[in-house]
Structure 1
Amino acid sequence: MYCEAGEPGSSERAGDGRHRCPHEPELLYQRARVSASDERVFCGKLLVVAVLVLLGGFAALSGNWPAMVAGFVVLGAVYTHAVELQHQCLHHSAFTAARPHRIAGIVLGIPLLVSYSHYRVRHLQHHKFLGTPQDSEFFGFDTRRPLTFRMLLRGLFDYGRLLVILREIVRSYRGTWTYDLGPLVDRRGRQIISEYHLLGAFIGTAAALSAVGFGEYVLKLWVIPLAIGIPLHFLVELPEHILCDTETTNVLRNTRTIKGSWFTTWFTNGNNLHVEHHAAMSVPINRLRERHAEVARFGEHVERTYLGFFHRVLSEARRNTKARP
C-alpha cells in the first residue's frame, strides 16, 4: 500500500521512491510464480470452454427456438469468458513456460476479434500508468468522466469497436499499421500485424462460407453470439475502476474488488478480484482469492456482490443525468 504525499504515515519511503504506509497488507503485494498445479487449473478452464462451445453450438443449430436462444447466449458468454482467459495469458500467469501464453491467447481472442499482442501492450501500459493521465485501457471506456446513462449505453453497445478492428486489419494488410501510444519494439509490432492478418483471414473465411451457402452457421455460431458478447464483456470490465479515485496510484483506492460468488469468479476469471490482481499482476488468477481478506480490510472500494455494484452504478448515473442541464 502506498501513501500519497502528505498522507498520515507517509514518512517511510519505499525503494522505488514512493511513500509506503507503515501498516499495510503483508500478502497482497507478494509475487508468485506459476506452478504446475496452476497450469493444470488453467488447462481445466480451457477444457470447460471447449465443452461449452460444443454444447452452445449444438443448441444454436438445433432448430428449436428456445434451445437456439439459449445456445446464442451460451456462446456469447463463453466468448466473453475466453477474453478473460486471454487476459490471464497477457500476464504470463497461466503456463509455466512463456510461449504457450501467446498461442492460447491468440485463439481465445478470435471469437471477439481481440488481438492478443495489441491487447497485451496496451494492457500492460494500463497497469503501469493506472492513476495517471497516461492511463489508456485497451477497451476504451473512460472511467474518469462523470457517469451517465448515455455513457453506459454507449459502452454497452459499442459495436463501433468492430469498425476500429476492421481499420486495424486493413492497415495491417496495407503495411501502414502503427502504434500510437509510445515506442514499440519491432518484434512486437510484427506480432500484432500478424495477428490482425489472422483476424482478417478469419473474417474472410466467414464471409466466404456465407457466400457459398453456409451463412446460417456463421450467423448462429459467431455473428449473433458476437453481438451478445460485446455488451457482456463491457459489463465484466466496467467494475474495475469506475467510481474509484482516478487521481492516485494507490491500488487500494483506484481499483475495485467484488467478492462475488463462485460463478461470477469463474465467469470473469477472477476479474472481480481486481485490487488483488493490480497489486501483483503476475500472480495466477486462481490464487488471488487467498489475498481477498487483506483487500477487504484495507481496500476502499470493496463490494460483496455484482448486484450491489450495479445498483450503485445506476444510482450514480441517475444522479448525474438529473444534474445535467
Structure 2
Amino acid sequence: MAKALFERTRVSRNDALLFVAKVTVALLLSCLGGILALTGGWFGTPVGVLLLAAMYTHMVELQHQCLHHSAFRRSSLHRPVGFLLGLPLLSAYSHYRVQHLQHHKYLGTTDDSEFFGFDTRAPLTWGALLRGTLSPTRLFQVAADVLKSCRGTWIYTMGQIADRARRQVITEYRLFALWGLGAAALSVVGYRHAVLVLWVLPLLLSIPIHFLLELPEHVLCDNESTDVLRNTRTISGSWFSQWFTNGNNFHVEHHASMVVPINRLQERHPVAKEYAVHVEDSYVTFYAKIIREANRNRGQRPALKSTVE
C-alpha cells in the first residue's frame, strides 16, 4: 500500500490551470497589500506590509513547485515564472533548483545541503531558532552571490553544476543587481517611502515567516536515514496552511515523488499518515513539540550552519 506514495503523475491541464489561479490570487493579494501599504495610514500601512511579506513568502512556495517542473505542461515556462515568483525575496530560481534537487537526491546523507541552510542534525536550541528566524547571513549571502555574478566569478561550491545551469544562475543574480539598482534609483528620485513599504520591509519580515514555514520539513526526524518515511514530516494542516504553504505541509508525499503536482499530494496523505513516522495534525502541535525540544536542549550548541559560499 505504501507504494502508492511513490507513483509518478504527469501534470494535467487542470493542474496547470490551478497553478495559474494560485499565482493570480497571490498577485491580487499583493496588489491589495501594496495599496494598503501606500495609503493605509498608521493602521493600514503595517497591515499592508505584513500582507506583502506573507504573499512574497507564498510566492517562494509557488516557486518551489516550478523547481520540480510540476506546475506547467510545458517545461520551458518554469524558469521565467519561477524567477519572477522569487524576485521579491531574492530567491534565485536556478540556484535554488540545483541545490534543492541535490537536497532531494541526498536527503539522509552527509551530502545533503538544503537551500534553507538549517542543520537538522545538531541539537535544536533556542539560540538556533533565534538565528534561524532572523537569518542574519541570508541577505549577505545573496549580496555576495550578486557581486560574484557581476564579476563573472560565481561558482557552485555544494557539488557539481552544469555549465548551462551556472550561466543561468549568473544571469539571474545579475538581474537581481538591476532590481536593486532600480530600487536605489527610485529612492533617490523621491520614492523612498514606496520602496521601503513595498519591498524592503516585506523582504525583512519574510525571513522569519519563511523560516517557520520550512522548519517542519525535516527537523526532529531521523536524519541518518534515507527512508523518506522516517526522515521527513507530513502535516495534515488546515485549508489555510495547505494553501499558504502550497501543499508543502504534505512533505513526505512530496519527497516520495517530487514530480507529482503539489495540488495532487493531498490524495496521498492518508497513506502517508499510515506509514510515516513523523505525522502532525497541525502546525500548532508541531511548534509545541519544537518548544519542548528547545527547552530540553538549553545550553547546547546551536543548530544553524553557514550558507556562505
Q: Say yes or no: TM over 0.5.
A: yes
Alignment of 1:4-153 (within 5 A): 24-153=1-130
Counterpart of 1:313?
A: 290
Alignment-mate amino acid for residue 63 of structure 2 = Q
How far apart are residue 66 of structure 1 and its match?
A: 1.2
1:254 corresponds to which of 226, 231, 241: 231
In 1, distance between residues paired with 2:110 and 2:69?
26
How far apart are residue 322 of structure 1 and its match?
A: 5.7
Counterpart of 1:219?
A: 196
In 2, distance between residues paired with 1:29 and 1:63?
48
Contact preservation (8 Å) 2:59, 2:85: yes
Q: Secondary structure of the equivalent of 2:2?
A: coil
In 2, distance between residues paired with 1:129 and 1:26?
20
Q: Secondary structure of the equivalent of 2:39?
A: coil
Alignment-mate amino acid for residue 21 of structure 2 = G
Superposed CA offset, 1:271-307 (max 9, x none)? 1000000000000000000000001100100000000
In 1, distance between residues paired with 2:111 and 2:56?
30
Superposed CA offset, 1:214-248 (max 9, x none)? 10000000011111111000000000000000001
Q: Secondary structure of the equivalent of 1:302?
A: strand
How far apart are residue 63 of structure 1 and its match?
A: 4.2
Contact preservation (8 Å) 1:257, 1:275: yes
How far apart are residue 183 of structure 1 and its match?
A: 2.0
How far apart are residue 139 of structure 1 and its match?
A: 1.9
Alignment-mate amino acid for residue 182 of structure 2 = T
Counterpart of 2:148?
A: 171
Contact preservation (8 Å) 1:169, 1:200: yes
Gaps of 5+ in 1: 1-23
Give the number of equivalent residue pairs.
301
TM-score (norm 2): 0.96
In 2, distance between residues paired with 1:172 and 1:66?
40
Contact preservation (8 Å) 2:96, 2:115: yes
In 2, distance between residues paired with 1:110 and 1:322?
38
In 2, distance between residues paired with 1:95 and 1:235?
28
In 2, distance between residues paired with 1:183 and 1:28?
29
The list of structure 1 runs, each at least 4 consecutive aligned residues, that deviate by more than 6 angstroms after superposition, is none
How far apart are residue 199 of structure 1 and its match?
A: 0.6
In 2, distance between residues paired with 1:322 and 1:170?
37
In 1, distance between residues paired with 2:172 and 2:116?
17
In 2, distance between residues paired with 1:212 and 1:198?
21
Alignment of 1:141-290 (within 5 A): 141-290=118-267
Q: Secondary structure of the equivalent of 1:207?
A: helix
Return the structure number with greater helix share: 2
Q: Secondary structure of the equivalent of 1:257?
A: strand
How far apart are residue 323 of structure 1 and its match?
A: 6.7
In 2, distance between residues paired with 1:182 and 1:264?
33
In 2, distance between residues paired with 1:176 and 1:319?
44
Counterpart of 1:302?
A: 279
Q: Secondary structure of the equivalent of 2:6?
A: coil
Specify which structure has the bigger relative contact order, considering alpha-carbon pairs within 8 angstroms and separated by 6 or more residues: 2
In 2, distance between residues paired with 1:80 and 1:159?
17
Q: Secondary structure of the equivalent of 1:26?
A: helix
How far apart are residue 175 of structure 1 and its match?
A: 1.2
Q: Secondary structure of the equivalent of 2:5?
A: coil
Gaps of 5+ in 2: 302-309
Contact preservation (8 Å) 2:123, 2:300: no
In 1, distance between residues paired with 2:136 and 2:201?
12
Contact preservation (8 Å) 2:125, 2:300: no
In 2, distance between residues paired with 1:63 and 1:258?
36
How far apart are residue 206 of structure 1 and its match?
A: 0.4
Residue identity (%): 55
In 1, distance between residues paired with 2:132 and 2:180?
23
Q: Secondary structure of the equivalent of 1:307?
A: helix
Contact preservation (8 Å) 2:79, 2:93: yes
Alignment-mate amino acid for residue 103 of structure 1 = P
